[in-house]
Amino acid sequence: MTADFVTPGFANRVDSAAFAASVRPDAAGWDARGAVPAEVVKTMARAGFLAADLPVSAGGTGRTQAGLGELCADLGGVCGALRALVTVQGMVAAAVLRWGTAGQRAGLLPELAHGEVLAGFAATEAGAGSDLSAVTTSAVREGGQVRVRGRKLWVTFGQLAGVFLVLAECAGRPVAVLVEADRPGTAVEPVRGQLGLRAAQVAHVRFDGVLVPEENLLAPPGFGLSHVTATALDHGRFTVAWGCVGMAEACLRAAAGHAGTRVQGGVRLAGHQAVRALLGRCLADAAAARQLCARAADLRERGDPEAVAGTVLAKYVAARAAAAVADRAGQVLGAAGCAEDSLVGRFFRDAKVMRIIEGADEVAEQQLGEYALRWRP
């Protein structure tokens, strides 16, 4: 850990903004190579960035929801894969904290928080994306064990995960089961060259009759989707939303910096009314997204019943803001935004993914519409 990152008063804590600034020059290279260096992952673990909102008693650093959000904004404004690592680790940790047994919490949560084990959230299948009730992966009880069989797609950091939280079906009821990556029958298929988040070491994972102890079931059968998976996805939406705020603000800074210095025909780009208006729209989108994320953080911190809907709204608006600002920033930068190492170009690709993961735009619109109907007089 570099001393420059240490937050005063916390010998083992790192300032996320300083850390993000230090790795910014390397992020494009990670994206091109399709991997985050192992030492960077270790640094994030030592810094307390993984499962950061877990209580101190569970091995975490006890960050507030606002603190978790700002962490994800700092990382998201530099590298979507770094934010994705915090997201997936936090999703699994949140599910175990809420629904795990005392033994599961004591055994796994400190390992997740300290980065001793990386986690994968294995829910999506070829026929089950937005509708996770359609999963066909099976978990069959056999004596004191559970046999897991199926194939999961698009598992973030699945290439590095030591444990997977798997959504499956058991005797007609949804279950969530923890499957260690080193169990016989588990096969990881690396995914490369996807549209965005190329450094997030995504994988498809096959479970070919993998046997795990029955104690690896997380919550009773029937709770796997409505409770365990819902908890994980809610945490994921929140961190993705804040990551999108970071992306939007980073793209705005890049566009404004270019417009303020680029001269064509003797006139700075910022001297054109059309360019200033475009930057104004970017500012409005980024600011609105940040405010909705801050509202979601406050609702979550207070345990408000409106917190789930507030998180859906924040993620929906922030993802669309990231996409819109990245698009406009690309127009301002022109050819410079198309360069191989362009942050704006990279975020243009990543932002499209943000509008799909943890609930696509269309799913969020339906959820928000149902929520809006409750406001009728």
Angle (CA) 49-52-58 rounded to 5° is 130
- In which band, very low, low, confident or very high, does the pLDDT at 377 lie, cut at 50, 70 and 90? low
**Dihedral sign for Cα atoms in the order 110, 111, 112, 114:** positive
Q: What percent of the chain has pLDDT over 70?
A: 96
pLDDT one-digit tens code per residue, 48-63: 999 999 999 999 999 9
CB 348 within 8 A of CB 330: yes
Q: What is the structure's pLDDT at 9?
A: 30
> Is residue 11's pLDDT more than 80?
no
Gap between the Cα atoms of 186 and 22, Å rounded = 36
2 versus 91: the higher-pLDDT residue is: 91
Q: Which residue has the higher pLDDT, 177 or 12?
A: 177
Calpha distance 120→202 (Å, rounded): 9
* Residue 100 clears pLDDT 90, i.e. is over it: yes
| pLDDT for 14 | 63
Which residue in 195, 118, 125 sits closest to 159, CA to CA? 118
**Can you tell me the distance from the alpha carbon of 148 to that of 5, in angstroms, rounded to the nearest whole number?**
43
Give pTM, 2 decimals: 0.95
Band (321; pLDDT cuts 50, 70, 90): very high
- CA dist 231 to 32, 104, 222, Å? 33, 16, 14
**pLDDT for the residue 68:** 98
Query: Is residue 6's pLDDT more than 80?
Result: no
Tell me how many degrees the CA angle 176-181-183 measures, rounded to the nearest 5: 95
Residue 376 binned pLDDT confidence (cut-offs 50, 70, 90): low
**Measuring CA to CA, how many Å separate 131 from each of 57, 127, 138, 285?**
35, 8, 17, 29
Summarize the confidence of residues 223-241 as an average pLDDT: 98
How confident is the model over 115-141, as pLDDT tens digits? 999 999 999 999 999 999 999 999 999
In total, the chain counts a number of residues equal to 377
The answer to whether residue 4 scores a pLDDT higher than 60 is no
Span 67-87, pLDDT tens digits: 999 999 999 999 999 999 999
What's the maximum distance between 2 C-alpha atoms anywhere in the chain? Answer: 79
The SS3 call for residue 14 is strand
> Which band of pLDDT confidence, cut at 50, 70 and 90, is reported for residue 276?
very high
Q: Exposed, middle or buried: residue 164 (CB in 10 Å: 0-12, 13-18, 19+)?
A: buried
Question: What pLDDT is stored for residue 1 in this prediction?
Answer: 32
Token reading at 98: 């809420």
Tell me: pLDDT of 39 over 50: yes
State residue 110 phi and psi, 5-degree precision.
-60, -35
Structure token pair of residue 353: 């993914």
Rounded distance between C-alpha atoms, residue 119 and residue 225, angstroms = 18
- CA distances to 3, 116, 123, 326 from 70, in Å: 21, 24, 27, 20
Q: Mean pLDDT over all residues of the chain?
A: 94
* Residue predicted with more confidence, 180 or 10: 180
pLDDT tens-digit readout, 346-375 = 999 999 999 999 999 999 999 999 999 987
Q: What is the pLDDT of residue 325?
A: 98
- Residue range 207-230: mean pLDDT, rounded: 97
Query: How much is the pLDDT for 252?
Result: 98
Average pLDDT over residues 320-345: 96
What is the Cα–Cα distance from 310 to 95, expressed in whole angstroms? 19
Question: Which whole number is the average pLDDT over 75-100?
Answer: 98
Indicate if the pLDDT at residue 310 is higher than 70.
Answer: yes
